[in-house]
Amino acid sequence: MNKLIRRGLIFIGFPLILGLGIRQLQDRQYTFISIVLVVLSLICFYYQYEKKKPKSREIVLLAVMITIVVLGRLLFILTPSFKPTLALIIIYGAVFKKTSGFVCGSLSAFIANFFFGQGPWTPFQMLSCGIIGYFAGVLLDSRKGRDSLQFMVGYGILSAVLYSLLMEIWNVIAITGTFNIDRYLASLIASLPICMIYVVSNCVFILLLAPVMTKKMKRIKWKYGLCEGGKYEKINE
């Protein structure tokens, strides 16, 4: 029940608070309110991660993975939107589950922006990447047989669309200072080519990286006792 309440607050309560806040302020300080609520959302996820008391080995592995994600983004700096960032977050989230996936995604976006530029958009990128890592851990559950390469590719396509849907909210707010559904829909249509690049890059990098990385990560997870509840997860040879 506590988990249900937390998820309800994060995915339903915060959007309602945002809407009420904007209504009361009559569209003033929209950017400020949005950033505050996004930061509060991030804190809720980080608290959930801290509450499970991660082992030092898991934190080290998380730091290594974040470094790999950031380096992947830097290496493909000359190919805008075509990057392994989301694919790597999905792979990590699928193996190490939802809270670890969220932390990996959100902190990767935060650290990468030290190279690409910090700004009021950073919390939105953190939340968007974090949510993608979170749902990778929820949907790509090996214990339910949903961690196959086909499922990962399918989620890679879905996550590309989800990232565009979330980030276009910030783009509309940043440009107009408020949120308008007509502008949002127009922005989504204009961003379709970029979204398609996200889809292609996710599929390509998942197909290239997931078979090897998933197997290696599961071996590390089992070797160092990082399996949730001490349960063994099948390692596909």
- Express each pLDDT in 205-214 by its tens digit: 999 999 899 8
Q: Which residue has the higher pLDDT, 147 or 56?
A: 56
Q: Which residue has the higher pLDDT, 228 or 40?
A: 40
* pLDDT average, residue stretch 44-62: 78
**pLDDT tier, 11 (very low <50, low <70, confident <90, very high otherwise):** low
Average pLDDT, the chain: 80
Q: Say whether pLDDT at 45 is over 90.
A: no
CB 170 within 8 A of CB 34: yes
What local confidence, expressed as pLDDT, does residue 235 receive? Answer: 43
Q: Taking the domain 55-227, which CATH number applies?
A: 1.10.1760.20
3-state secondary structure string across the chain: CHHHHHHHHHHHHHHHHHHHHHHHHCCCCHHHHHHHHHHHHHHHHHHHHHHCCCCHHHHHHHHHHHHHHHHHHHHCCCCCCCCCHHHHHHHHHHHHHHHHHHHHHHHHHHHHHHHHCCCCCHHHHHHHHHHHHHHHHHHCCHHHCCCCHHHHHHHHHHHHHHHHHHHHHHHHHHHHCCCCHHHHHHHHHHCHHHHHHHHHHHHHHHHHHHHHHHHHHHHHHHHCCCCHHHCCCCCCC
Single-letter amino acid, residue 210: A
The domain locations on the chain are: 55-227
Which of 33-47, 113-127, 149-163, 196-210 shows the lowest per-residue confidence on average (mean pLDDT)?
Answer: 33-47
Q: Say whether pLDDT at 40 is over 80.
A: no
Q: Say whether pLDDT at 38 is over 80.
A: no
Q: Say whether pLDDT at 56 is over 70.
A: yes
**How far is C-alpha 93 from the geometric centre of its chain's CA atoms?**
9
How far apart CA 180 and CA 107 sit, in angstroms, is: 29
Its pTM stands at 0.80
- Express each pLDDT in 62-120 by its tens digit: 899 999 999 999 999 888 789 999 999 999 998 888 888 889 998 999 899 888 888 87
For the chain, percent of residues with pLDDT exceeding 90:
28
* Distances in whole angstroms, Cα of residue 51 to Cα of each of 45, 48, 94, 99: 10, 5, 20, 10
For the chain, percent of residues with pLDDT exceeding 70:
75
Q: Say whether pLDDT at 229 is over 70.
A: no
Q: Which residue has the higher pLDDT, 141 or 7?
A: 141
What local confidence, expressed as pLDDT, does residue 82 receive? Answer: 92
